Structure 1
Amino acid sequence: MAQTTELIEMLKKLLKRHNKTYAEVAACLELSEASVKRLFSEQNLSLQRLDSICALMDLEISDLVREMSSEQIHTISELSQAQEKEIADDLNLMMITVCVLNRWTLKDILKHYRFTEAQCIRYLAHLDRLHIIELQPGNRIKLLTAPNFKWRENGPIMNLFRAKIESEYFRTNFSKRGEKLVVMNGMLSDTSNQLFQRKMAQLAKEFDAMSKDDSSLPIGERKGSTLLIGLRDWDYERLFKQK
């Protein structure tokens, strides 16, 4: 599944590189634009459709695989413990990191946050040294993270979330238009639990894919959205146990 995600991400990059829109892909596949977006989101492209999309760019599927393999050499899927700690220890650096992972430009960051250009460039240079980005001429930002990039489990960033962000995250009644909270309790077999965890992983990939799809939109048309998915061995009896 990881390679499927990377292949679809590379396909989208190549479409953008060749100035091909979803509308053109839809016409090529004789589908609606909404159907095409759903196919990309669900990562449900048949070889025949994949071949047709590649042909739209005068490419072969082998060219797509070659491009993906070439890019993987230069991308990272996870930081080291020490690298994450550098970011977690500086909340300004953490903020800049989240911005670049969401494909913000230097101009976007300066417009929305109270950093001087010199401060911002210093933080971006730090991320360049960590190989999260490549700071290019004109202070353009090239993201070097792989499509399956994630924070370390129980690493400094996740611990920071638990210590400082988790309580603030739940300080709402989740009634606004862009909010939703679902809490369910039930009894599952080990098999069903593992199956549901795989569905959760797929949902997380769809969230990430949609985020990448929307990355070309202006900042004003995007809002920071944090998805938290959890499943654990827990029942309401714990609430009523006496200490």
Structure 2
Amino acid sequence: MSESKQIVAMLKRSLKARGMTYADLASRVRLSEASIKRIFAQETFSLARLEQICGALGMSIAEVVQISAPQPLERRQQLTVDQEEALASDPRTLATFHLLLNGYDSASIAAELGLNDRDLRRLLVKLDAAKLIELGTKLKVRLRTSNVIAWRSDGPVRRAYEEQVKGEFLRAAFQDKDELLNFGSAELSAASVNIIVRKLEALARDFADLAALDASLPGRDEKRSMGLMLAMRPWVFSMYAGLRQKG
């Protein structure tokens, strides 16, 4: 897919994520709905018009280009061990960084975590010292990392929190709205395993892409924290394995 088509596709996804129609967008940029439909169909965006549409969606052109670029799993950013140590050493530091990755500004983080100005500044200074953010005047923050982090499999963050996260996440009936648990076990060929792995990787990319897209949504009321766990490995239930050995 060409870069222009990727940008148009991302703008369409952004409209859908915000629950906006072409008519809503047309009203915001003072064009007719027919004109908006024609612009999207023909992909005839001037820079001025693209900037106007991005502004109506609460994003900059730079953010649109960054989000629309393909982000394969291997290009997700891995932090240094020292950076992970800085995050793992203090829950509030990790929580602050997590909220920044999800598009929160300083004021929203303070409200979410119940921080006073001094504590918020201390946490942001720590993240700045770890080269995770660039802290500007009036507590303005710019991320120095991707908003998609690949935590080290044997790194400080996973060592500190992985078992707790797994336990808490799976401690649910998975019967409510927006909850899903589906476990299966089967004997598969190598070719089938490869197909499933590729599909899981694609789903992980979709999750990351949508998270990056939704980071620009303006209000907390439009989003909720969601967890997605993907796992597959060669495995035999111990009860069944014991029966096979006895037989």
Unaligned 5+ residue runs, structure 1?
31-48, 69-74
Q: CA deviation at 1:89?
A: 1.8
Find the counterpart in structure 1 of residue 121 from structure 2. 121
Letter of the 2:220 counterpart = I
1:41-52 matches, cutoff 5 A:
52=43
Find the counterpart in structure 2 of residue 90 from structure 1. 90
The answer as to 2:39 corresponding to 1:28 is: yes
Find the counterpart in structure 2 of residue 79 from structure 1. 79
Match of 1:142, SS state, is strand
Max radius of gyration: which structure?
A: 2
- Distance in 2 of aligned mates of 1:200 and 1:96: 29
Q: CA deviation at 1:233?
A: 0.6
Match of 1:172, SS state, is coil
Q: CA deviation at 1:147?
A: 5.7
On the 8 A contact 2:86/2:130 being kept in 1, the answer is no
RMSD of aligned residue pairs (Cα, Å): 3.6
- Distance in 2 of aligned mates of 1:174 and 1:182: 9
The normalised TM-score by structure 2 is 0.68
- Distance in 2 of aligned mates of 1:76 and 1:202: 13
On the 8 A contact 1:76/1:149 being kept in 2, the answer is yes
Letter of the 2:85 counterpart = K
- The correspondence for 1:57, drawn from 47, 50, 61, is 47
Match of 1:241, SS state, is helix
Q: How many residues align?
A: 203
Find the counterpart in structure 2 of residue 150 from structure 1. 150
Letter of the 2:209 counterpart = A
Q: CA deviation at 1:129?
A: 1.9
The normalised TM-score by structure 1 is 0.69
- Distance in 2 of aligned mates of 1:117 and 1:26: 46
The answer as to 2:129 corresponding to 1:141 is: no
- Distance in 2 of aligned mates of 1:223 and 1:240: 41
Q: 1:78 to 1:26 in 2, by over 3 A?
A: farther
Percent of pairs identical after alignment? 21
On the 8 A contact 1:76/1:144 being kept in 2, the answer is no
Find the counterpart in structure 1 of residue 70 from structure 2. none
On the 8 A contact 1:28/1:56 being kept in 2, the answer is no
On the 8 A contact 1:103/1:143 being kept in 2, the answer is no
